Amino acid sequence: MPLDATIPAESLVSTARELGASHVWTSSGLESLGLPRWRGRSAVIKISSGSRRECAPLPFSAEAMIEDGQNTATAMETGENDVALALLPFGHSYALGSLILPFLLRGMRLASAKEFLVRQIPSWIRDHAITFFPSVPDVWRALGQLSDESALRSLRLAVSAGTALSAETAKRIYDRFAVKIHSLYGASETGSISYDGSGDATLEERSVGRPLPRVSVTIRRSGRVSIASRALYGRHQRVTLPDLAEWNELGEIRLLGRADPVVTIGGRKIHPAEVEALLRRLPSVTDAHVRSVRSQSRNYLIAAVESQTDADELLRLLADFVPSWKIPRLFLCLPRLPRNGRGKVEEKALQTLFRAAYPQLPSAEASKTRPLATGSSDSRIQTENSASLP
């Protein structure tokens, strides 16, 4: 079971023991932890920090891992002729499906670095004739802000996964490097789910593409995404995720956010994820985070957006096409949302920023907060813009 590299060294043994490992292998060597709890035919146990609990173990058989790797590589058309820039942490689901398994099963070559700065990436792509670069929105945003505008002629495939990639970031990368970014959607529990093969759906922020050939996707009446495939964890034949989505007219999956508890505001029911999706459509907004809080027996929304535009201007734009009861009462506009070691929005850090700006904000214990983000393709990255480097 690959442990997250951001786990403090002093916590590795206790974390491994809690997850049921029999041994922990670090740079200091192999240490026995006692009898293992895991039995059966698990080949890999992914570690997901999901909404249910922190560090949830997800056991996968060799057959499930191979299914995910072959399906992902087939959709992306990656193989022995490719050289991938492998900067994703190898233990995370995104890297396992798009890098490690194609390396093992198809002979795809990897160029890797333990740590990196974003400004090094364009020169690495040129120097090592990289053809495939899978990364996350935080890295793509930082790349789009670089002054380097030279072409990346060898790069035939750029992929983004983990969280939603804004059309603005995709357009900036396309204008600067003449490279289209292809969205990959997946989850730790399921492996890869859908892929934007042309890159146009990502460029237009239209969807995260169509389901992979051997993945069956159902969108339930509740709006939640349900997956059936041979790549699921454990003995599951179907997994329902906390993601909300809809089909567009092209048969593509359009993500709408997370299945947060429905909130009643002004006598009307609303998902915070719905407002989050609306905010992401505003010009210059590259990410958004919305949750509900409760104060004096009333619910209201608070929002933080990642944008260089003035907050008043964004609220004015939002008011042009959104009813007043959907507009967040408290609004923060930040150059970059705080993220944790897995690239997800850090709720505690965001609460601190909200409380500094709005001292009247109720405590977390008195609020209805959204579930913690679960990880499709979580990743640990290091950029010049990172609040704390891993």
pLDDT of 115 reads 84
| Phi and psi torsions of 373, nearest 5° | -65, 135
Going by pLDDT thresholds of 50, 70 and 90, the confidence category of residue 240 is very high
Instruction: Please indicate whether residue 233 or residue 360 has the higher confidence score (pLDDT).
Output: 233
Mean pLDDT of the region 312-316: 89
Cα(244)–Cα(87) distance, rounded to whole angstroms?
A: 29
pLDDT of 348 reads 80
330 pLDDT exceeds 80? yes
Joined tokens for residue 8: 């403090």
| Phi and psi torsions of 11, nearest 5° | -105, -5
Cα(306)–Cα(286) distance, rounded to whole angstroms?
A: 6
Burial class (CB in 10 A: 0-12, 13-18, 19+), 313: middle
369 pLDDT exceeds 50? no
371 pLDDT exceeds 70? no
pLDDT per residue as tens digits for the range 155-187: 999 999 988 888 888 999 999 999 999 999 999
Domains delineated in the chain: 9-58 (no CATH), 61-214 (3.40.50.12780), 263-366 (3.30.300.30)
Instruction: Report which residue type is found at 79.
Output: G
Mean pLDDT of the region 225-234: 96
Going by pLDDT thresholds of 50, 70 and 90, the confidence category of residue 382 is very low
pLDDT of 196 reads 97
Cα(258)–Cα(22) distance, rounded to whole angstroms?
A: 35
pLDDT per residue as tens digits for the range 72-92: 999 999 999 999 999 998 888
208 pLDDT exceeds 60? yes
Going by pLDDT thresholds of 50, 70 and 90, the confidence category of residue 154 is very high
pLDDT per residue as tens digits for the range 249-278: 999 999 987 776 678 877 777 878 788 888
| Long-range pairs for 180-185: beta carbons < 8 A, 24 or more residues apart | 181/140, 182/76, 182/157, 182/158, 182/209, 183/159, 183/207, 183/208, 183/209, 184/72, 184/76, 184/94, 184/98, 184/134, 184/159, 184/160, 184/208, 184/209, 184/377, 185/161, 185/209, 185/253, 185/255, 185/376
Q: Angle 167-177/137-144 helices, nearest 10 degrees?
A: 50
pLDDT of 367 reads 39
Neighbours of 322 (CB within 10 A): 15
Instruction: Please indicate whether residue 93 or residue 55 has the higher confidence score (pLDDT).
Output: 93
Weakest-pLDDT range from 163-167, 240-244, 287-291, 362-366: 362-366
Q: Please name which of 357, 242, 366, 222 lies closest in space to residue 299, comparing C-alpha atoms.
A: 366
Tell me the C-alpha to C-alpha distance, in Å, between residue 147 and each of 87, 118, 144, 244, 363: 21, 12, 8, 37, 42
Q: The dihedral of CA 242, 248, 254, 256: what is its sign? A: negative
pLDDT of 380 reads 26
- Model pTM score: 0.77
Burial class (CB in 10 A: 0-12, 13-18, 19+), 153: exposed
